[in-house]
Amino acid sequence: MKLSDNIKMAFSDLNKRKLRTALTSFGIAIGSTLVIVMAGLGQGIQTVSNNQIKNMDTFREIVVKPQESLGKDKTKDKKIDQDILNKFKAIDGTSGVSASINTTAAEVKIDDKTGKNVNIQGNNLNFNIVMDGEKSQLKSDKEKVKKYGYKYIIAGNSIKTGDTTSVLVGQGYLSKIGLTNYKGAVGKEVEIKVSLPKMQGMQEKAPLVIKAKVAGVVNRAYNSGRNVVIASDEMAAKIQEYYMGTKNYIQAKGYSNVTVEAKTMEDVAKVNKQIKKLGYITQAYEGYADRMNSGLIIIKVLLTAAGIIVLLVASIGVINTMSMAVHEKTKSIGIMKAQGASRKNIRAMFVVQSGSLGFVGSAVGTIIAVAGSAIANQVIVANKIGGIEEGMTLIDIRISTVVFTIVFTVVVAMIAGLVPAGKAAKLNPVDTLRFE
């Protein structure tokens, strides 16, 4: 008997027993639906998470400490100067370098407004003041962009290389001291007062007063746009020299805060390795994306496995249904054997019928899964559940998942049908013809 004949006979028999077929197929459909949805959910979580990692451009940043390791948790200072910064920038896969001397001022005065204990960030103006990664990450945050915009400088201009008399002032700092006319602050004189606290028994040191002008205002959405005044490294060095009572601070100590930005997440490990070869201690998200992806693959496998277990349980219904079909067709089996049908033919007939049940169930399950997932995705996006926004898909059903589920379900149903099919093949033709 040809396969096509077995398939026609299988669907004819299933059509005659609509209720039983519907109930068995429904159980299989539930299992298939769960396999597809669970696999799609796992795939969606993985895709969304990987996209979010890509949007976390600050993960491309490598913090370089001015230290080297001596082993056994021991370190010693290792200066980072202009020459070392140039070496960092020349590393293949590097997109930017930022270097600064961070210090504090007792007071910063603009007009008649004064702020206390202000952070001073003295940048090497030959390199980045703000990294591209931080800019990109802000642009991906729609709520922040809507509230603050995405431009780094919201009024005025940045400090140019060689400008030692201008500063950038954080929007957050201006708000704190009561200056809300940010454009009006540009060009104003800034008085930076640096002083040491009075200590009994020690001679009081005269304050250091540095005068500059506001070149621009930094958006508060950036880290340097808060309670920070950005100046040149030379200005910050003067403040540090005042505190420490030394000269030539940059030549002696170098830069205290250095960040190297890789072009991509994949470049982080390579760049980090080269920096370590120069003898510096680093902090980086090296291999973070790979570790995250490995964990997400495990979650996807576990979710898919949960659906498969339900499908396997549903296959028990196939055994029951086919056992009843064998019982009902006992006499027909005897007639077919009397006409020359072999055991192989009888077994194939019932196995194909089992597979047909699996196909019907998986087809219905696929329709339910695809339609249900489409509705669920729309609801999730509309309500921004779990931070899922328009353009994202939490339940990501792939064609390969659907094909795998249908084939797997048919195979499972055929395997489940082997027991009743084998029983049918072994029936004695004489006994079957006497069956009523």
| 95 and 125 both lie in a single domain | yes
| 98 and 241 both lie in a single domain | yes
Q: How far apart are CA 115 and CA 128, in angstroms?
A: 26
Q: How far apart are CA 263 and CA 289, in angstroms?
A: 14
Q: How far apart are CA 256 and CA 78, in angstroms?
A: 10
Instruction: Please check whether residue 17 lies inside any domain of the structure.
Output: yes
Angle between the 399-416 and 288-328 helix axes, to the nearest 10 degrees? 40
Instruction: Please check whether residue 341 lies inside any domain of the structure.
Output: yes
Residue type, 111: D
Does this model's pTM top 0.85? no
For residue 424 the two structure tokens come to 């049918």
| 218 and 339 both lie in a single domain | no
| 356 and 274 both lie in a single domain | no
Cβ atoms of residues 392 and 51 within 8 Å: yes
| 274 and 295 both lie in a single domain | no
| 299 and 168 both lie in a single domain | no
Instruction: Please check whether residue 298 lies inside any domain of the structure.
Output: yes
Alpha helices by DSSP H, listed for 77-141, are 82-90, 132-140
Q: What is the structure's pLDDT at 325? A: 67
| 223 and 348 both lie in a single domain | no
| 88 and 50 both lie in a single domain | no
Instruction: Please check whether residue 283 lies inside any domain of the structure.
Output: no
| 229 and 308 both lie in a single domain | no
Q: How deeply is 193 buried, as exposed, middle or buried, from its count of CB atoms within 10 A (0-12, 13-18, 19+)?
A: middle
What is the extent of the structural domain holding 374? 3-54+291-434
Q: Which helix (H) or strand (E) holds 295?
A: helix 288-328
| 309 and 407 both lie in a single domain | yes
For residue 434 the two structure tokens come to 């006497």
Number of domains in the chain: 2
Instruction: Please check whether residue 397 lies inside any domain of the structure.
Output: yes
Cβ atoms of residues 215 and 159 within 8 Å: yes
Instruction: Please check whether residue 43 lies inside any domain of the structure.
Output: yes
For the chain, 436 residues long, give each residue's pLDDT as a single digit of tens.
566 666 776 667 666 777 777 778 888 888 888 889 888 888 888 777 777 666 677 788 999 999 998 887 788 999 999 999 999 999 999 999 999 999 999 999 998 899 999 999 999 999 999 998 888 888 877 888 889 999 999 999 999 999 999 999 999 999 999 998 999 999 999 999 999 887 776 778 899 999 999 999 999 999 899 889 999 999 999 999 999 888 899 999 999 999 999 988 888 889 999 999 999 999 887 666 667 767 778 887 887 888 788 777 777 777 777 777 665 666 666 666 666 667 677 777 778 888 888 888 889 999 999 999 999 888 888 877 766 777 778 888 899 989 998 998 888 888 887 777 776 666 555 555 444 4
For residue 117 the two structure tokens come to 């204990």
Q: What is the structure's pLDDT at 337? A: 63
Contacts of the segment 6-11: beta carbons below 8 A, 24+ positions apart: 6/348, 6/349, 6/352, 6/353, 7/352, 7/356, 9/349, 9/352, 9/353, 10/349, 10/352, 10/353, 10/355, 10/356, 11/356
Cβ atoms of residues 27 and 373 within 8 Å: no
| 45 and 91 both lie in a single domain | no
Instruction: Please check whether residue 272 lies inside any domain of the structure.
Output: yes
Q: What is the structure's pLDDT at 156? A: 94
Name the domain boundary from 255, 278, 301: 278
Backbone CA torsion sign across 281, 287, 289, 293: negative
Name the domain boundary from 249, 278, 307: 278
Name the domain boundary from 278, 306, 337: 278
| 125 and 86 both lie in a single domain | yes
For residue 385 the two structure tokens come to 């559940």
Instruction: Please check whether residue 60 lies inside any domain of the structure.
Output: no
For residue 380 the two structure tokens come to 């999730």
Nearest alpha-carbon partner for 326 in 420, 414, 427: 420
